[in-house]
């Protein structure tokens, strides 16, 4: 048997396992859709006891499908990543395998951290900011009443999860590319000279994208400062390790 046929057979089996796993995740998500809905609407119902409405039956069905596909993309990522990693691992060097393992580990941590942070802290603050129009208005001529549609809510929630997760993954990828393709000396002097400017740019972008809540802004400032200090610490450590190997 030719090596090409072996690789084709292996990749076909891996594609079959991935499809089978994704279909199983979709079926399980569809079966437990009520619990998934409860998890997604929990940040909103903590603030009020409003009901969700659906104007027609197809809208509710679209909400279920959208949520199931979102669960497939979230829970199927480790499975697909595992099969891709194990398929190409035989042609990589040891340092490439180690680097990819560290990257996937930090990527998984970044994803679960952003997911938990969004659902536990960020979304309740955002809903508190958006729903204050209904709770604080007194003695006004026009009263604003809020009604939440289940389809638009789930669509917005999934977009929020994906956007924040993509932003965190992009920052992580940017950090890995800096560590790989920039010399330790240039990285050290760049972070040392332009640390304040980088911190200001990151905070400015985050303040524009996210709602003006005090606790959210304080947490963003602290997280940005901690991330930048971590980058500076890594640049110092790599610079000392390369320039003065006898010290370590």
Q: What is the pLDDT of residue 95?
A: 76
Q: Which residues sit opposite 148 in a β-bridge?
A: 52
Please work out, in degrees rounded to the nearest 5, the angle formed at the alpha carbon of residue 210 by the alpha carbons of 207 and 213. Answer: 85
Distance between CA atoms of residues 32 and 27, nearest Å: 9
Report the 10 Å Cβ neighbour count for 226: 10
- Residue 146's pLDDT is 64
8-state DSSP, 82: H
Is residue 53 helix, strand or coil? strand
Give me the average pLDDT of each 10-residue run along the chain (248 residues).
Answer: 77 90 92 84 69 76 86 86 86 81 81 77 71 57 65 81 78 76 74 78 73 69 78 74 62
pLDDT at 246: 57
Q: What is the DSSP string of 2-34?
A: -HHHHHHHHHHHHHHHHHHHHHHHHHHHHHTHH
Residue 242: the pLDDT is 67
Q: So what's the pLDDT on residue 26?
A: 92
pTM of the model: 0.69
């Amino acid at each position: 048997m030719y090596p090409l046929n072996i690789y084709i057979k292996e990749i076909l089996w891996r594609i079959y396992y991935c499809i089978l796993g994704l279909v199983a995740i979709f079926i399980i998500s569809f079966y437990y859709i009520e619990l998934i809905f409860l998890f997604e609407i929990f940040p909103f119902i903590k603030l009020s006891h409003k009901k969700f409405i659906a104007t027609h039956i197809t809208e509710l069905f679209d909400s279920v499908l959208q949520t199931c596909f979102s669960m497939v993309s979230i829970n199927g990522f480790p499975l697909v990543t595992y099969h891709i990693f194990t398929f190409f691992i035989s042609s990589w060097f040891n340092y490439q395998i180690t680097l990819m393992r560290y990257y996937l580990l930090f990527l998984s941590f970044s994803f679960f951290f952003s997911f938990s942070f969004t659902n536990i802290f960020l979304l309740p603050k955002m809903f508190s900011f958006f729903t204050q129009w209904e709770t604080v208005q007194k003695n006004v001529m026009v009263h604003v009443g809020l009604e939440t549609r289940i389809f638009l809510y789930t669509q917005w929630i999934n977009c929020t999860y994906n956007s924040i997760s993509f932003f965190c993954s992009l920052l992580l990828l940017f950090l890995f590319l800096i560590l790989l393709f920039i010399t330790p000396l240039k990285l050290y002097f760049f972070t040392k000279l332009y640390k304040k400017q980088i911190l200001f740019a990151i905070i400015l972008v985050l303040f524009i994208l996210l709602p003006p809540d005090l606790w959210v802004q304080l947490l963003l400032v602290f997280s940005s400062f901690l991330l930048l200090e971590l980058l500076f610490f890594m640049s110092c450590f790599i610079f000392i390790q390369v320039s003065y190997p006898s010290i370590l």
